[in-house]
Chains A and B, each alone.
Chain A
């Protein structure tokens, strides 16, 4: 999966509709970034990339780029 495809899936799983959602987006500005939203993201990452993240690892992310970093070994480009 390409990085931008992953970011699209990330936005979709968070049910976010910001036009400029991208690597620099701060997660604290994403309304759905709470325990329920993080579960949706973890499920997407497990389903799409086969990577199992812990709640703590996701909670420590502050930007979209931080999440991309956690899974970059499975991304292209």
Chain B
């Protein structure tokens, strides 16, 4: 397991951009399924609304708005931003990297290092870790971490197992502040679960062919093509309550984290029932576990920053918040972070 204890990096602000297009999953689902089937999904996952990017709205479009709002909001000079990390599974192109495109569109200097990281729901923790590494090693002074996807472009409307998938892109400003509290990261991977969360065709293993677009019905009555996102919900759920849960408990005990001193445990918003099980297994009281999946759906790598902007905004006006983050998903990959969110940091949610 990779462990990092990093000094001198501080989150200066967060902005999340949601597409201005909210849908009720009843409206989508009842076109193909009985209302009672959709009610079961709503009840078990704990969500009702998702946000869907418009056909011509890409990850970089949402990222551009989130970043511009963030950079203006915190008053950073663009000329001194020297790192840009984009964590996404839905880039604009196979190549070039969307991080390079954003460096230009955001008018960041040519000396800025752009990196694209291929992760989803665990990605915010990985992105913050990478930014903090660059800052802690004095490679960079001011880094923007962009995490998010337009995953709804990959899902089939006739697939109940991915109905909670929603679109959002977050931007987080991380900067060098001498003497800032240490942040701790612990990261994991298990590629043996790769097939449980996958888009099978369209890469170089299975190039796009006519068969890629054939709609196939599975045993549960869900229909998808090999270009659609496939999720084995049961395997992912068992992975989360197994390995993620065990390693979260280990993270808490290895670093002597006293839950009484923590203001919030921020879980990736995958499923309300799952989050409450993870909290219960770690003896975390539910009043320290904010949940907002019902409002926004599963927004992949943007879900933890969206949770901060949505549920911790008022608390952050009054005091510093000690938080633990837990991201887990595609790869399979997962990771935990413990860090301080400073009082008064800029947070915003915009609809574009």
Interface residues of A (CB under 8 A from B): 34-36, 38-39, 42-43, 46-47, 52-56, 58-59
CB pair A54–B235 under 8 Å, yes or no, is: yes
Instruction: Name the residue in B235, B238, B242 with the highest tally of chain A Cβ atoms < 10 Å from its Cβ.
Output: B238
CA distance A58 to B232 in the complex (A): 13
CA distance A55 to B41 in the complex (A): 17
CB pair B241–A47 under 8 Å, yes or no, is: yes
CB pair B44–A59 under 8 Å, yes or no, is: no
With an 8 Å Cβ cutoff, the count of chain B residues facing the other chain is 17
CB pair A35–B277 under 8 Å, yes or no, is: no
Known: A39-B233, A42-B237. A52 touches B242 (CB 8 A): yes
Give the residue of A46, A54, A55, A58 whose beta carbon is less than 8 angstroms from that of B241: A46
B235 contacts across to A, CB distance below 8 A: 54-55
B37 contacts across to A, CB distance below 8 A: 34
CB distance from B226 to the nearest CB of A (A): 19
B234 contacts across to A, CB distance below 8 A: 35, 38-39, 42, 53-55, 58
Interface string of B48-75 (1 = CB under 8 A from A): 0000000000000000000000000000
A53 contacts across to B, CB distance below 8 A: 234
Give the residue of B40, B161, B238 whose beta carbon is less than 8 angstroms from that of A46: B238
Give the residue of B220, B238, B241, B242 whose beta carbon is less than 8 angstroms from that of A35: B220
CB pair A43–B237 under 8 Å, yes or no, is: yes
Sort A-B residue pairs by CB-CB distance and give the 9 closest, nearest first: A55-B234, A35-B220, A36-B40, A36-B44, A52-B238, A42-B234, A46-B238, A39-B234, A59-B219
CB of B176 within 8 Å of the partner chain: no
CB pair B160–A35 under 8 Å, yes or no, is: yes
CA distance A52 to B235 in the complex (A): 8
Interface of B is mostly: helix
CA distance A59 to B222 in the complex (A): 14
CB pair A55–B277 under 8 Å, yes or no, is: no
Q: A52-B242, A55-B235 are in contact. List 6 more A-B contacts (CB 8 A).
A: A35-B234, A39-B233, A42-B238, A46-B241, A47-B241, A53-B234
B237 contacts across to A, CB distance below 8 A: 39, 42-43
CB distance from B11 to the nearest CB of A (A): 34
Instruction: Name the residue in A34, A52, A55 with the highest tally of chain B Cβ atoms < 10 Å from its Cβ.
Output: A55
CB pair A46–B242 under 8 Å, yes or no, is: yes
CA distance A53 to B235 in the complex (A): 8
What are 13 contact pairs spanning A and B, CB under 8 A? A34-B37, A35-B161, A35-B233, A39-B233, A39-B234, A42-B234, A42-B238, A43-B241, A52-B242, A54-B234, A55-B232, A55-B233, A55-B234
Instruction: Name the residue in B234, B237, B238 with the highest tally of chain A Cβ atoms < 10 Å from its Cβ.
Output: B234
CB distance from B118 to the nearest CB of A (A): 26
CB distance from A30 to the nearest CB of B (A): 14
A59 contacts across to B, CB distance below 8 A: 219-220
Q: Which residue of A lies closest to B220 (CB)?
A: A35
CA distance A54 to B161 in the complex (A): 15
CB pair B277–A43 under 8 Å, yes or no, is: yes
Which residues of B in the span 118-140 have a Cβ within 8 Å of any Cβ on A? none
CA distance A59 to B232 in the complex (A): 13
CA distance A58 to B220 in the complex (A): 12
